Amino acid sequence: MIASELKKLKETERFFSNPFYAIGVDKSKHIIIGKLKIVENKMQVVEDFSRVLSLDHKEDLTAILTMMRVANENMGELILNCFPNNTKYDANLDVIYKSVWYRNETDFHWTLIPCQ
């Protein structure tokens, strides 16, 4: 394995072996949020998912959501005014975005954010 692949593998393990928020948004801008982590190659729910109207009640996300708005403000249409509608890893913010081709009531745009 070359050094870059090993580094990527270690970063992936670091991200997913610790608790992270999974935030899903459907086409009607309905939000579901929960906390997950991977333990022994299995997804473990750390905090149950709930449907919420906004993310305002998650005070520990206020700073990162503000940074995401600023970082993505020139990205075109933003979901909830901070999530870009594409699939990418933002290394500067340590955030993963996963878009879907067509969002509906069951297909969500996902954003994964490490818990602080």
Q: What is the mean pLDDT of each run of 10 residues along the chain (116 residues)?
A: 83 92 90 95 94 92 94 87 90 92 72 91
Domain boundaries, the chain: 3-114
pLDDT of residue 107: 79
In this prediction, residue 38 carries a pLDDT of 94
* Helix, strand, or coil (residue 85): coil
- Predicted TM-score of the model (pTM): 0.88
- In three-state secondary structure terms, 59 is helix
Residue with structure tokens 């149950």?
A: 48
The span from the CA of 70 to the CA of 68, in Å, is 5
Q: Any residues with CB less than 8 A from the CB of 24 and at least 6 apart, and which?
A: 31, 32, 33, 108, 109, 110
